[in-house]
Amino acid sequence: MERIISNQNSRVKAWAKLSSKKGRLENHTYLLDGWHLVEEAVKANAKFHAVMATSSQMALHLPEVPHGVPAFEISEEVAKHIAGTNTPQGIFAEISLPEKTFDPAYVHDGAWLLLDQIQDPGNVGTLVRTADAAGFKGVVLGEGTADAFAPKVVRAMQGSQFHLEVLNGDLNQWVDALTNNGLPVYGSQLNEAAQSYRDIEPSTQFGLILGNEGQGMSDELAAKTTANLYIPIQGQAESLNVAIAGGILMFSLSLGNE
């Protein structure tokens, strides 16, 4: 097994580049940081390109790494450099980006979360994880939304990208396709004139749009929805964080989670 102790090593430089969208697209791979995420990738039969770990983490987990995957022992300093943090968990994997294409015209069932220009990586990752927990079939990231495979999003998803569809798409096309296929599409609005989310009968088949942290969803999308929903606020807070609001709506609208 090759041992790498320098941040100037060519492999280390290549792994560090995966923190950028350009680097991920050029290599068609992204990075997992921490054993929990690596283990989820193993369970999902993801395509591994390499596993990198400090000596202690390698001793713990090498037997569980799929046979034939190149393994590299790295120093603590290299681990910090790859992770871009001072407290990495000490084990990483480089795996392939999803390659599937998805035409919304063929979507006739399931609950789908549509993210319109949600820019905070933590919010995007948390929403994907919550959609997984609420039994959603997929999450569609519209233009202007944080990249699903950026390091902060990957950490926040906690492996949920292996449990449901995580796609990029034109949200206008998705809304048109879902409504044409008989699925209602709900928007979320900070607007007391909108319909209360409590008035909607839970279902297993619908779309839910969540909009930008500051501006909400676009007017164009708002005009296309079956209904736009409002979460009544009881206290003095002006609004809810989009990930919190999304969690309330997802669990309320999903049949079996009333």
Query: Please, are residues 110 and 45 in contact by the beta-carbon 8 Å criterion?
Result: no
Domain span at residue 126? 104-253
**Do 51 and 90 fall into the same domain?**
yes
**Do 127 and 230 fall into the same domain?**
yes
**Do 132 and 75 fall into the same domain?**
no
Per-residue burial over 83-103, b = 16 or more CB atoms within 10 Å of its CB, e = otherwise: beeeebbbbbbbbeebeeeee
Query: Has residue 57 been placed in a domain?
Result: yes
Structural domain total, the chain: 2
**Do 73 and 140 fall into the same domain?**
no
Query: Has residue 258 been placed in a domain?
Result: no
**Do 148 and 197 fall into the same domain?**
yes
Comparing 19-23, 118-122, 151-155, 190-194, which segment has the lowest mean pLDDT? Answer: 190-194
**Do 115 and 190 fall into the same domain?**
yes
Q: Is the pLDDT at 243 greater than 70, yes or no?
A: yes
Torsion angles phi and psi, residue 202, rounded to 5:
-60, 150
Domain with 197 in it: what CATH number?
3.40.1280.10
In the chain, pLDDT over 70 holds for what percent of residues? 99
Tokens describing residue 238: 């002006």
Question: Residue 21's Cα: distance from chain center in Å?
Answer: 14
E strands, the chain, are: 2-4, 29-33, 48-53, 71-74, 91-96, 111-116, 138-141, 165-168, 185-188, 195-196, 206-211, 227-230
pLDDT for the residue 183? 97
Query: Has residue 154 been placed in a domain?
Result: yes
**Do 203 and 238 fall into the same domain?**
yes
Cβ count near 1 (within 10 Å): 8
pLDDT for the residue 192? 75
Q: Is the pLDDT at 258 greater than 50, yes or no?
A: no
Place 55 in a pLDDT band, splitting at 50, 70 and 90.
very high
**Do 91 and 119 fall into the same domain?**
no
Q: Is the pLDDT at 257 greater than 70, yes or no?
A: no
**Do 120 and 208 fall into the same domain?**
yes
Place 217 in a pLDDT band, splitting at 50, 70 and 90.
very high
Give me the chain's average pLDDT, please: 95
Q: Give CA–CA dist 150/94, Å, rounded.
A: 13
Per-residue pLDDT of 75-116, as tens digits, reads 999 999 999 888 889 999 999 999 878 899 999 999 999 999
Closest by CA to 85, choosing from 10, 138, 154, is 154
Choose the final residue of a domain: 46, 71, 96: 96
Choose the final residue of a domain: 67, 96, 125: 96
Using alpha carbons only, give the angle 151, 12, 36 rounded to the nearest 5 degrees: 40
Stretch 39-49: mean pLDDT: 96
**Do 19 and 91 fall into the same domain?**
yes
**Do 140 and 172 fall into the same domain?**
yes
Place 256 in a pLDDT band, splitting at 50, 70 and 90.
low
Domain with 84 in it: what CATH number?
3.30.1330.30
Per-residue pLDDT of 157-200, as tens digits, reads 999 999 999 999 999 999 999 999 999 999 998 887 789 999 99
**Do 137 and 239 fall into the same domain?**
yes
Choose the final residue of a domain: 70, 96, 122: 96
Q: Which residue has the tokens 């022992």?
A: 73
Question: Residue 84's Cα: distance from chain center in Å?
Answer: 19
Per-residue burial over 170-202, b = 16 or more CB atoms within 10 Å of its CB, e = otherwise: ebeebbebbeeeebbbbbbbeeeebbebeebee
